[in-house]
Chains A and B, each alone.
Chain A
Amino acid sequence: KDFLFKKERENINRTQTLLKEYKERDKSNVFKDKRFGEYDTKISPEEKMMKRFAMERQQNYGKKSIYNLNEDEELTHYGQSLADIEKLNDIVDSDSDDTEEKGILSAELTAAHFGGGGGLLRRKAPMGQQDEEEEKPKSRKELIEELITKSKQEKRERQMQRENAMELTEKLDSEWKDIQALLAHKTPKNLEPERPLIPDEYDKMVRELGFEMKAQPSDRMKTEEEFAKEEQERLQKLEADRLRRMHGIDEQEKKKPKHMSADDLADGFILDKDDRCLLSYKAKRVEENQEEDGENGGNEREEESEPGSEDAEEATAEEIDAIDSHSDLESDTGSDEEASENEEEKKKHKRNKKKLQEEVEQNAKIEAARSELPYTFAAPESYEKLKSLLSGRTMEQQLVVLERIQKCNHPSLEVGNKAKLEKLFGFLLEYIGELATVEPPEVKTIDKLVLPLYHLCQMFPDAASNSVKLVFQDAAHDMEEMIEVKGRAAFPVLDMLIYLKITKILFPASDYWHPVVTPALVYMSQLLTKCPIATLQDVVKGLFVCCLFLDYVSLSQRFAPELINFLLGILHIATPKKGVLGYTLVHPFRPLGKNSEQLLVQDKEDMETWQKQNLPLHIMTRLTETLCFDLIKRCAALYGLLPSFHEIMQPIRGVLTEHLPVSRYPKHLQELHQNVMKELENKEKHYYPLVCEKKKPVPLKLYTPKIVKVLEFGRKQGANKEEQERQRLIHKHKREFKGAVREIRKDNQFLARMQLSETMDRDADRKRRVKQLFNSLATQEGEWKAMKRKKFKR
């Protein structure tokens, strides 16, 4: 059916187009339909009519004036010729003027226009009907003309009115302007009397209350307990975060919350805020702290009671450490979370109290310093500038300068300040390095400078980490070069050691991976493995690095083979006779060598000289061995839980028991030795056979159906999109081409059919005419014959 229908349609189509062409093939003249928009279906009939009308008018208009040579150009006003306006009766209606009028047909007008048929209207307006009947004798044409003139007149009137109104308003405006100047300063005075002169007490109250800030429930002043609790919660959260990073769990997933508090950003100086809130809760628990102090032994209390001493800072540090040392194990094991938390809190109190004392005495100094210094500082743009700012000032002054630089250039104040302060961190780091290299090193100043460094770091972690990284990179490359040139490296000078320590202070060393700490660890590992020990200084530096290493890994309890190796090497140096070793030394130590008996404690003089050993770095208070023993002890405590603890410590134990001349050691050293041995022996030996985690059963493979977009059925799918597109186009082209050929063929067939039918028609026509001819001839002949016969008959 469809097919038939389609064929039918095609046929019709052809007859309309092809046949027409065919029929007109010999004709040179063409019939053109010039009616506007006759075949344009887009235009609605009304519009079409309108356009046609307009065009007609245009044509007429042009034609009218084209031969009017005598007349001047017509003057117009608002699109109307002036002449027409003057005449007032023959107005060319401008459509543009009153559009709103267009659609509205007055009853009269409608009546006039459609008067003949409008029964409804007639009924509605009997009066009109009467009129109409009266005027009926008038012809329709007259009527319409009348109507037109009427309506035009009306329009004219209206326009006049409007113009008048406009004129009037203009006049009014100008007049108003004159008056306005007089009115201008009068108005406010006019308004004032509305308000009462003396506000009522009540009104005042109401207004005040209205303007007063509404106290929000969360902004209520917190009690000390709440502050304490909040602080504790914050610390707990941070600690949990740290632990998570330590175990390397979903490092990337969670974004680390910033450690900065809002206050921190607001005033650019953390200490103020911290002190404020912490002091308050400290005051309440003074007694508690005192008790704790009692526990910790008298000597601390003594120190505590001399607030005027210069070494307050050091004393505090030591004291804190002493307190902490008894909690070492607890916090190290980390198993008893709560206990360690408590511990931490207690420490906090303690420190705060100390801090207060310090603060009091320092405040005086700082106040003095403050008064001497200018209040604003531009952020230094180069290291030299910073140096010139800081050098020659006292420690306190330097601190104040830095603080003021920070405040003056707070990022919230100006756009460029962030970059400036970021740079400041690098300069400060450099400055510290320089302080460490001068002779003698100004370690105390560095000690203080760490504070601003820490704050800057908290503000700009990225910039800080980058500059610290840069320092390490340079150091590592220097070492690399030295190894290449000389075959061995030397321990770095003090500044690097201090940088390493600062890194530990600024960044959390317990992270599983940390962009700054991990390179630092690698660097330290290189130090411990590649730098041979030649002098006593090297030993101290090496042990310092060991301390650092231990410090870095103490929280995370990570295993560092280099550390153990180095300690073993140091012990080896301290042993007298080299018999059968029973252990093997690792690079950089050699079993035999010129330095191999360097640290041997032989007699009292040795000991004394060592006790006074003046190192450029710090004054070592005790023997290197003490430190070494202590480090071993700490290592033992730290690694006690590792499964191969005994294998790790076995060589050290061997040295300690067999090779060290303990009997010749001074007493405290012997005690320490005992302690270490105990620590080493105490660990139980537990070996549990390893078992792999159970493998998850591998699920059967489920084949999800492969879904391929089918663009064209029966076509090969191209590999990629472009290929597919190309294939599709090729295919389309082929199909179109075929279709076109078929179409042409059909057209030809159609034409042939037409021609055939034409010739058939023509033939039939001719036959018919021939027949007719014959007919007439026959009749003629017959007539003639009949006549002849008649003649003969006659």
Chain B
Amino acid sequence: MALPGESAAEAAAVLASSLESVLGSRANANRAFEILERLQAEDEEVILCAVRTCSRLFGALLERGELFVGQLPDEEASLQEGYSAEDKYKVWMRHRYNSCINCLVELMSHESFQVQELVLSTLMKFVDLEAKHPLMKAEWKGKICFPRELLKLVVASLIPVEADSSLLISQFQQYLEYDDVRFFAMKAVADNIGHVMQRMKEAPPPVYQQNVFSLISSISVPSRESEIANFLVKQAGNYEEWKVSKLKEHRLAFERMWLGFLKHKLPSSLYRKVLVILHDSILPHMNEPTLLIDFLTAAYDIGGAISLLALNGLFILIHQHNLEYPDFYKKLYSLIDPSIFHVKYRARFFSLADLFLSSSHLPAYLVAAFIKRLSRLALTAPPQALLMVIPFLCNLLRRHPACKVLVHRPSGPADLLEDPYVMDAEEPSESRALESSLWELQTLQNHYYPDVAKAAAAINQSLSLLEDDITELLDLSASELFDKELKKKTPTVPLEFEQVRGLFGQKNDIFAEHFLLE
């Protein structure tokens, strides 16, 4: 019997002997309790040992077929009713197996990762064995049985409400290779989200959402039906007919899972993460991508970086799924604010904006408003952003020759007192951008960074016909800029000729006025 003060070595000896005797003869079946008891031990070593023993014991029993198959009768009832001794043993053993699984699932929230890992692999071994030796009676011939209940338990324990379990999830990913496991896992997740949300009443804990996200973001549905052939279940049966081998079903499950997840309010960091992967790992795998419209428009309305990120998904919907988005450009126009040159997603936004504004059917006033706004904001941009946005503006001018009045207005009013462009106007059509000129770029010709000045000087000449390639410039960072400058080679280094007179001794020195050397 398990004692609180028992050492790991002793426990291991006891476990080994009881395993041997249980497997050796049915008379010793009761010793299985000794094993199960040690699952609840305090010592980590003992638990690990017990889990291993359980895995071997029930693994062997499952393979031998010594567990009851079919609807499990009540334990008490089975003893009284007229079952054969054989059946009675099997029923009893099956009950032990169930209690073992319950223990293991509890252990999934054990603080030690080692235990968690071992338990997970043990449970998945059971899933594997049950899939081979099903514990359910086939209702008809050829029906394929998958241990759905067991998997559900596993999945539920993978996404706990309290603790972060991303490590364990990454362990679980290897099982997601199997199409059937993935399929049932998706279903289980969808169910689990439903249950948890109901329980939590509108306030899902962020940790839980984080867990769910890390689990489901690693799920990807195969793109073709022929690719679904990797099953964990190895049974004689009609695989063609099985629901699991249908791509459509997979997609449906996938869609349900995501919709269930996105239905609820997300914390903004998670929002961003979802939006970042949305366009290439979620949208293409859905049966009905349009179902995400609500989510995306809501995200687009939030503003700031989230709006920028939502653009991408929205673009796919508009482009490929005939989504009508009223005032899309107006919205886009209002998205452009000074922070756009400083945020992380700058490259993404500009590549999309490039795409949106590439249509030659856009009205000139709209493009002009965009150009004017971007150039106005360029007055606050750092050099690395300027190097990208100036060619971008030049490209726009090239694409929309009607906007060229912005840089070339030979017969305009000579001396304006104000820039006609109205920066604050919400509507691009009211901004009067076409009456203005790009004085901002002219200003930038005096930028301190020589490359920027050079790029801005391009508007002095009539633009060449070919567009500049800005894809390389999109990701330019300040440190890259710095390194590039340092790498340039020069034959001679010009020197200051003014005689030096101490640190602050130059003429016109601002420092001498405000700082003291002390």
Contact = CB atoms under 8 A, between A and B. Distances in A.
Contact of B379 (A316, A461, A561): A561
Contacts of A448: 502
Interface stretch (A109-117, A411-419, A614-622, A762-770): A614-622
B339 interface: yes
B3 interface: no
Interface stretch (B86-94, B355-363, B408-416): B408-416
A454 interface: yes
B446 A516 contact: no
A619 B516 contact: yes
Contacts of A551: 509-511
Pick from A242, A325, A351, A526 the residue with the most CB of B within 10 Å.
Answer: A526
Interface in B483-499: 483, 485-486, 488, 490-497, 499
B515 A508 contact: no
A552 B495 contact: no
Interface in A677-720: 685-693, 695
B482 A695 contact: no
B439 interface: yes
Nearest to B518: A619
A530 B478 contact: yes
Contacts of B503: 443, 446-447, 450, 498, 501-502, 505
B479 A505 contact: no
Contacts of A557: 446
A324 B509 CA distance: 9
A587 B339 contact: yes
Interface string A248-279: 10001001100100000000001000100000
A750 interface: no
Nearest to A314: B517
Contacts of A648: 379, 443
Contact of B502 (A259, A447, A634, A690): A447
B449 to A, nearest CB: 7
A558 B514 contact: no
B416 A690 contact: no
B219 to A, nearest CB: 30
Interface string A548-563: 0011111011111110
A695 B513 CA distance: 49
A444 B517 CA distance: 6
A536 interface: no
Interface stretch (B65-73, B106-114, B236-244, B380-388): B380-388
A511 interface: yes
Contacts of B382: 525-526, 529, 561-562
Given A314-B516, A480-B479, A516 B493 contact: yes
Contacts of A462: 492-493
B408 A691 contact: yes
Interface stretch (A44-52, A208-216, A373-381, A465-473): A465-473
A689 B442 CA distance: 11
A243 interface: no
Contacts of B495: 259, 457-458, 461, 506-508
Contact of A690 (B381, B407, B448, B499): B407
Contact count band on A: 35 or more
Contact of A692 (B378, B461, B514): B461
B504 interface: yes
Given A451-B500, A518-B485, A618-B518, A686 B415 contact: yes
B347 interface: no
Interface stretch (A65-73, A421-429, A639-647, A656-664): A639-647
A513 to B, nearest CB: 4
Contacts of A480: 479
Given A554-B508, A620-B514, A687 B501 contact: no
B440 interface: yes
Nearest to B514: A627
A647 B440 contact: yes
B500 A454 contact: yes
Contacts of A584: 337-339
A331 B450 CA distance: 23
Contacts of A627: 514
Given A318-B513, A506-B495, A518-B449, A324 B507 contact: yes
Given A516-B493, A522-B485, A690-B442, A317 B501 contact: yes
A328 B508 CA distance: 7
A558 to B, nearest CB: 4
Contact of B501 (A351, A501, A507, A508): A351
B272 interface: no
A317 B376 CA distance: 40
B448 A689 contact: no
A689 B412 CA distance: 6
B465 interface: no
A320 interface: yes
Nearest to B404: A692
Contacts of B102: none
A689 B517 contact: no
Pick from A560, A586, A687 the residue with the most CB of B within 10 Å.
Answer: A687
A505 B500 contact: yes
B500 A476 contact: no
B417 interface: yes
B500 A552 contact: no
B443 A642 contact: yes
A559 B494 contact: no
A610 interface: no
Nearest to B448: A558
A21 interface: no
B462 interface: yes
B419 interface: yes
B46 interface: no
A685 B485 CA distance: 36
Interface in B413-460: 413-419, 437-440, 442-444, 446-450, 453, 459-460
A523 B484 CA distance: 12
Interface in B206-255: none
Given A248-B450, A587-B342, A331 B514 contact: no
A561 B486 contact: no
Given A256-B492, A505-B496, A689-B409, 7 more contacts: A238-B497, A318-B512, A447-B517, A687-B418, A690-B409, A690-B437, A693-B460
7 tightest A-B CB contacts, nearest first: A689-B412, A687-B416, A587-B342, A558-B448, A643-B439, A689-B409, A454-B500
